[in-house]
Amino acid sequence: AAPLSQFSLPPKLPSPTSRHVAVIGAGAAGLVTARELGREGHSVVVFEREDQVGGTWVYTPKVESDPIGLDPRRTVVHSSLYQSLRTNLPREVMGFRDFPFVAKRDDEKNVRDPRRFPGHREVLLYLKDFSREFGIGELVRFETEVEYVGLVDGGKWKVRSKKRGELGVDEIYDAVVVCNGHYTEPRIAEIPGVDTWPGKQIHSHNFRIPEPFRDQVVILIGSAASAVDISRDIAAVAKEVHVASRTITDGTIGKQPGYDNLWLRSMIKSAHEDGSVVFQDGSVVFGDVILHCTGYKFHFPFLDTNGIVTVDDNRVGPLYKHIFPPALAPWLSFVGLPWKVIPFPLCELQSQWIAGLLSHRIDLPSEEEMMEDINAFYSTLEVSGKPKRYTHNLAGCQFDYDDWLAIQRGSALSEEWRKQMYSAVSKRKRAQPETYRDEWDDEDLIIQANHDFIKYFP
Ligand code: FAD
């Protein structure tokens, strides 16, 4: 294949105004945001606390001092990856739209993982390829944490950052794009009586390998992708694994097919001093560990907006289209907040829109109109009985959202094969959680995807 650079750097679009923009984070969201801002002619500085790009995809065996993640003084470990993690999306679907995540040959430095649902290291290598291809690394200040972002006179932003081992520095930017990820600050299930329960508690943020659970009775709370993976991982060594889920359907409760030590149970009702845990259906288990696979909180400890942006029950708001607080648009934006989505292409579209708005090549509605849109959206959520914490859950509507963004910017709509493949994989994942990564029947869609990718590898 020809080198990507032949076509991956299109001629710069006419850029009426170039801005000085701070991007916080060099994960997938920050990398693609930096690329899009650069393509639009803005000057970009990316701040990254760690010493490399990749964010979540930089696996570390390190865990935090407080296994449940409640102690605000704990040293934060950013990534929540566990050692055995393979992607839960096929690589065709997962990659950026114009930089497909195709299997690569090993090179002198790295052995590559060609599987369709590769291990986590392959995603990191892909993000590094992306960063190298588009020269993003040169824009990143590594080992530099953003400690404070706040408004100053004239509508600009003060960004205080601190490079490891140095003093903090204040700088002024026209705009700030927040790309700090949202899988680091644990959310914990509230369990009546847990304070007197004698067992251990841990959040999946601090789960790496199953070994510490050998011969233990583990009660795992949650039913999202990582809960499914981790319960199977642990069942290989634990005495018993009991998965407590809010979203069980009748007929699935009880011992799980193919296992003699894995049960699906209703939600936990209470925990007790004698070590027992009582489930809502009345069953009782004496457990050693409660493992909370209960998700994460949005967390922006550096951000000071004078109360304009708040996080309330995991709703970051008010945000127009999950990106802009109307009163501060387009000068403050968030990339990558939506979940139950395909994150990379979604971040790509969000950042393209932001880049075009910052240069005034495209326009936003008025502040009032944006607020009306947000309030109408919140009302729809309320009417449909969705809790606030589901505000950024785009299950069932991510492609409408992606296409809306694409239209704002005049980009291509989501590919039909991507939509169909996502839906096929979601169904397979539910039906065969152990095997969906290695057995499939959407070969026709893979062919269509690869055919589409040819334009990026002429
Ligand atoms: P991150 O990758 O978290 O990057 C944020 C970056 O910001 C980090 O590098 C961090 O160091 C930096 N940062 C944070 N605060 C500061 C600060 N104050 N100053 C400077 N830098 C800062 N997605 C998929 O597409 N496929 C999958 O299979 C998949 N599996 C997943 C499995 C798990 C267990 C988890 C947790 C997530 C998974 N995801 C998956 C979602 C994943 O989060 C996204 O793919 C993507 O990594 C999100 O990128 P991001 O840039 O938004 O956040």
- Under the banding of pLDDT at 50, 70 and 90, the label for residue 4 is very low
Q: For the segment 183-213, what is each residue's pLDDT rounded down to a tens digit?
A: 999 999 999 999 999 999 999 999 999 999 9
Q: Tell me, what's the pLDDT at 457?
A: 80
Q: Tell me, what's the pLDDT at 249?
A: 65
Beta strand spans in 239-323 (E): 240-244, 254-255, 262-265, 268-271, 276-279, 284-286, 289-292, 296-297, 303-304, 310-312, 315-317
Q: Tell me, what's the pLDDT at 443?
A: 97
Whether the pLDDT of residue 15 is over 80: the answer is no
- Under the banding of pLDDT at 50, 70 and 90, the label for residue 154 is confident
Mean pLDDT (whole number) for 35-42: 97
Nearest to 321 by CA among 400, 217, 416: 400
Distance CA(189)–CA(251), nearest Å, equals 24
What is the share, in percent, of the chain residues with pLDDT greater than 70?
A: 95
Asked which of 9-23, 72-86, 315-329, 437-451 is least confident by mean pLDDT, the reply is: 9-23
Q: Tell me, what's the pLDDT at 228?
A: 92
CA angle 179, 180, 182 (to 5 degrees): 110
Could you tell me if the CB of 79 is within 6 A of ligand 1? no
For residue 30, how far is its CA from the centre of ligand 1 (angstroms)? 9
Q: Phi/psi at 362 (nearest 5 deg)?
A: -125, 165
Q: For the segment 394-409, what is each residue's pLDDT rounded down to a tens digit?
A: 999 999 999 999 999 9
Token pair for 96: 């950026």
Average pLDDT, the chain: 94
- Buried b or exposed e, range 250-274, using 16+ CB within 10 angstroms: eeebeebeeeebbbbbeebbebbee
Mean pLDDT (whole number) for 426-450: 95
pTM exceeds 0.80, yes or no: yes
The reply to whether omega before 330 is within 30° of 0 (cis) is: yes
- Under the banding of pLDDT at 50, 70 and 90, the label for residue 458 is low
- Under the banding of pLDDT at 50, 70 and 90, the label for residue 9 is very low
Please state the atom number of ligand 1 nearest to the C-alpha of residue 181. Answer: 53
Residue partners of 200: CB distance under 8 A and separation at least 6:
67, 288, 289, 290
- Under the banding of pLDDT at 50, 70 and 90, the label for residue 11 is very low
Nearest to 199 by CA among 285, 265, 275: 275
**Beta carbons within 10 angstroms of residue 165's beta carbon:** 6
Element containing residue 350 per DSSP (H, E): helix 343-358
Question: Best of 180, 293, 350, 421 to mutate for ligand 1, by most ligand atoms within 8 A of CB?
Answer: 180
Cβ atoms of 269 and 278 within 8 Å: the answer is yes
102 against 72, higher pLDDT: 102
Whether the pLDDT of residue 320 is over 80: the answer is yes
Could you tell me if the CB of 238 is within 6 A of ligand 1? no
Distance CA(142)–CA(271), nearest Å, equals 44
CA-nearest residue for atom 18, ligand 1, is 146
End-to-end CA distance of the chain: 7
Mean pLDDT (whole number) for 419-443: 95
CA-nearest residue for atom 28, ligand 1, is 87
Nearest to 149 by CA among 69, 290, 47: 47
Residue 410, CA distances (Å) to 154, 290, 416, 419 in order: 31, 49, 17, 19
CB burial class (10 A; 0-12, 13-18, 19+) of residue 1?
A: exposed
Mean pLDDT (whole number) for 93-98: 97
Distance CA(131)–CA(123), nearest Å, equals 12
Q: Tell me, what's the pLDDT at 253?
A: 82
Distance CA(96)–CA(89), nearest Å, equals 13
Whether the pLDDT of residue 7 is over 80: the answer is no
For residue 173, how far is its CA from the centre of ligand 1 (angstroms)? 24
Token pair for 204: 């999946």
Please state the atom number of ligand 1 nearest to the C-alpha of residue 81. Answer: 34
ipTM of the complex: 0.99
CA-nearest residue for atom 42, ligand 1, is 56
Please state the atom number of ligand 1 nearest to the C-alpha of residue 144. Answer: 20
- Under the banding of pLDDT at 50, 70 and 90, the label for residue 424 is very high
